[in-house]
Amino acid sequence: MEDNEEDDYMNMIIAEPARSEKETSIQRTARKRREARERGFHKTKQEREADAAAARDAALSTSLNTSNKGFKMMAKLGYKPGTTLGKAEHARIEPIGVVIKENRGGIGHDSEKKRKIRGELEEAAKRVKVEEVGYRERVRQEREEKRVGGQLVGAQKIAEGLDMEADQDAAAEEDDGTTKDSSRVPLNKRPLGSINVLWRGLIKSRLEKDVERRMRADMQQSLSRLPTYDNPTEEQEDRDAYAKKQTANEFVEEDLFDEDAELNEFQELDAGERLDKVVMYLRKTYHYCFWCKHRYENTEMEGCPGLTEEEHD
Amino acid sequence: MADDGRGAKRQKTSGAEMDPKANPYLAHHYEEESNGYSNGYSNGFSRSKKASSTVFDNLIRHQTSSKDAEVAENGPNNAFTGQPLSNRYFNILKGRRNLPVHTQRQEFLDMFQKSQILVFVGETGSGKTTQIPQFVLFDDMPQLQGKMVACTQPRRVAAMSVAQRVANEMDVPLGEEVGYSIRFEDKTSPRTILKYMTDGMLLREAMTDNNLSRYSCLILDEAHERTLATDILMGLLKEVARRRPDLKIVIMSATLDAQKFQKYFKIGEDPAPLLAVPGRTHPVEIFYTAEPERDYVEAALRTVLQIHATEPEGDILLFLTGEEEIEDACRKIGLEADELVREADAGPLKVYPLYGTLPPAQQQRIFDPAPPPHKPGGRPGRKCIVSTNIAETSLTIDGIVYVVDPGFSKQKVYNPRIRVESLLVSPISKASAQQRAGRAGRTRPGKCFRLYTEGAFKKELIEQTYPEILRSNLSMTVLQLKKLGIDDLVHFDLMDPPAPETLMRALEELNYLACLDDEGELTHLGRLAAEFPLDPSIGVMLISSPEFYCSNEMLSLTALLSVPQLFNRPASARKRADEMKELFAHPDGDHLTMLNVYHAFKGPEAQRDPKQWCHDHFLSYRALQQADNVRSQLKRIMEREDLELMSTPFEDKKYYENIRRALVSGFFMQVAKRDGSGKTYITVKDDQSVLLHPSTVLAQEAEWVVYNEFVLTTKNYIRTVTAVKAEWLLDIAPMYYNIEDFKQGEIRRSLQKTADTLRRKEALKAGKSRK
pLDDT of residue A151: 87
Of B7 and A151, more confident? A151
pLDDT at A289 over 50: yes
Sheet strands side by side (includes B194-198): B185-187, B178-182, B194-198, B148-153, B215-220, B248-253, B117-122, B274-277
Angle at the Cα of A13 (from A8 to A18), degrees rounded to 5?
150
pLDDT of residue B321: 94
Residue B51: count other Cβ atoms within 10 Å of its Cβ: 20
pTM: 0.72
CB atoms B508 and A109 under 8 Å: no
- Percent share of chain B, pLDDT over 90: 61
Per-residue three-class SS string for B255-315: CCCHHHHHHHCCECCECCCEEEECCCCCCEEEECCCCCCCCHHHHHHHHHHHHHHHCCCCE
Rounded to whole angstroms, the Cα distance separating B24 from B45 reads: 7
CB atoms B689 and A62 under 8 Å: no
Please tell me the total number of residues recorded for chain B in this structure. 771
Antiparallel, parallel or unpaired: β B117-122 and B274-277: parallel
The confidence band for B7, taking pLDDT boundaries of 50, 70 and 90, is: very low
Residue B541 near residue B663 (C-beta atoms within 8 A): yes
Mutate to test the interface with B, among A48, A73, A101, A116 (most CBs of B within 10 A): A73
- CA neighbours closer than 13 Å in the CB half-sphere of residue B595: 24
Antiparallel, parallel or unpaired: β B185-187 and B178-182: antiparallel
Decide: residue A231, CB within 10 A, 0-12 exposed, 13-18 middle, 19+ buried: exposed
CB atoms B686 and A59 under 8 Å: yes
pLDDT at B421 over 80: yes
Residue B537 near residue B543 (C-beta atoms within 8 A): no
Antiparallel, parallel or unpaired: β B215-220 and B248-253: parallel
Give chain B positions within 8 Å (CB) of A36. none
**How far is the alpha carbon of A18 from chain B, nearest alpha carbon, in Å?**
13
Residue B333 near residue B350 (C-beta atoms within 8 A): no
Residue B489 has its nearest CB partner, among A59, A77, A105, at: A77
- Percent share of chain A, pLDDT over 90: 2
Decide: residue B36, CB within 10 A, 0-12 exposed, 13-18 middle, 19+ buried: exposed
Residue B346 near residue B443 (C-beta atoms within 8 A): no
Mutate to test the interface with A, among B417, B479, B682, B747 (most CBs of A within 10 A): B417
Task: Write down the number of H helices and E strands in chain A.
Answer: 10, 2
pLDDT of residue A3: 45
Residue B406 near residue B418 (C-beta atoms within 8 A): no
SS3 B24: helix
pLDDT of residue B33: 41
pLDDT of residue B26: 47
pLDDT digits (tens, 9 = 90+) for B525-542: 999 999 998 999 999 999
Give the amino acid at A236. Q
Give the helix/strand (H/E) hosting B203. Answer: helix B199-208
Give the helix/strand (H/E) hosting B583. Answer: helix B574-584
SS3 B540: helix
Rounded to whole angstroms, the Cα distance separating B101 from B86 reads: 24
Question: Which residues pair with residue B719 across a beta bridge?
Answer: B709
Residue B689 has its nearest CB partner, among A55, A70, A85, at: A55
Rounded to whole angstroms, the Cα distance separating B466 from B463 reads: 9
Residues 6+ apart with CB under 8 A from B344: B309
Rounded to whole angstroms, the Cα distance separating A110 from A103 reads: 9
Q: How far is CA B103 from CA A274, B97, B644, in A?
A: 97, 8, 57
The confidence band for A230, taking pLDDT boundaries of 50, 70 and 90, is: low
State the complex-level ipTM. Answer: 0.78
pLDDT digits (tens, 9 = 90+) for A82-140: 889 988 888 889 999 888 888 889 888 877 777 777 777 777 777 776 666 677 788 88
Among residues B124, B101, B96, the alpha carbon closest in space to that of B111 is found at: B101
- Which residues in chain B (408-427) have CB-CB distances under 8 A to chain A? 408, 413-418, 420, 424-427
pLDDT of residue B12: 39
Interface A-B, measured as beta-carbon pairs within 8 A, has a size of 206
Rounded to whole angstroms, the Cα distance separating B604 from A117 reads: 65
Rounded to whole angstroms, the Cα distance separating A14 from A16 reads: 6
Residue B113 near residue B284 (C-beta atoms within 8 A): no
Residue B650 near residue B659 (C-beta atoms within 8 A): no
Per-residue three-class SS string for B181-200: EECCEEECCCCCCEEEEEHH
pLDDT digits (tens, 9 = 90+) for B710-731: 888 778 899 999 999 999 999 9
pLDDT of residue B713: 79
CB atoms B505 and A70 under 8 Å: yes
Instruction: Give Dmax over CA atoms of chain B in angstroms.
Output: 101
CB atoms B677 and A60 under 8 Å: no
- CA neighbours closer than 13 Å in the CB half-sphere of residue A170: 9
Q: Which of A83-97, B14-28, B161-175, B433-447 has the lowest mean pLDDT?
A: B14-28
Of A265 and A189, more confident? A265
Rounded to whole angstroms, the Cα distance separating B727 from B752 reads: 10
Of A61 and B643, more confident? B643
Name the H helices within B648-745.
655-667, 726-732
Q: How far is CA A294 from CA A113, A169, B407, B608, B631, in A?
A: 69, 20, 86, 126, 117
pLDDT of residue A62: 83
Residue range B369-381: mean pLDDT, rounded? 85
Q: Which of A127-131, A197-201, B46-50, B55-59 has the lowest mean pLDDT?
A: B46-50
Residue range A134-147: mean pLDDT, rounded? 82
Residue B91: count other Cβ atoms within 10 Å of its Cβ: 10
Give chain B positions within 8 Å (CB) of A37. none
The confidence band for A1, taking pLDDT boundaries of 50, 70 and 90, is: very low
pLDDT of residue B346: 83
Q: How far is CA B606 from CA A141, B617, B625, in A?
A: 94, 10, 13
Task: Write down the number of H helices and E strands in chain B.
Answer: 28, 21
Rounded to whole angstroms, the Cα distance separating B564 from B566 reads: 6
pLDDT digits (tens, 9 = 90+) for B238-275: 999 999 999 999 999 887 678 899 999 988 888 999 99
Give the helix/strand (H/E) hosting B207. Answer: helix B199-208
Core vs surface per residue B358-382: b (16+ CB within 10 A) or e:
beeeebeebeeebeeeeeeeebebb
Rounded to whole angstroms, the Cα distance separating B587 from B63 reads: 69
The confidence band for A50, taking pLDDT boundaries of 50, 70 and 90, is: confident
pLDDT of residue B719: 92
CB atoms A70 and B489 under 8 Å: no
CB atoms B424 and A98 under 8 Å: yes
pLDDT digits (tens, 9 = 90+) for B60-114: 888 888 888 898 898 788 888 888 999 999 999 998 998 888 999 999 999 999 9
Among residues A44, A309, A310, the alpha carbon closest in space to that of A152 is found at: A309
Residue B471: count other Cβ atoms within 10 Å of its Cβ: 21
CB atoms A85 and B420 under 8 Å: no
- The number of angstroms, rounded, from the C-alpha of B96 to the middle of its chain's C-alpha atoms is 28
Residues 6+ apart with CB under 8 A from A82: A93
Give chain B positions within 8 Å (CB) of A63. 417, 501
CB atoms B491 and A78 under 8 Å: yes
Instruction: Give Dmax over CA atoms of chain A in angstroms.
Output: 137
Residue B386 near residue B352 (C-beta atoms within 8 A): yes
Residue range A176-192: mean pLDDT, rounded? 63
Residue B151 near residue B194 (C-beta atoms within 8 A): yes
The confidence band for B368, taking pLDDT boundaries of 50, 70 and 90, is: confident
Among residues B460, B197, B432, the alpha carbon closest in space to that of B321 is found at: B432
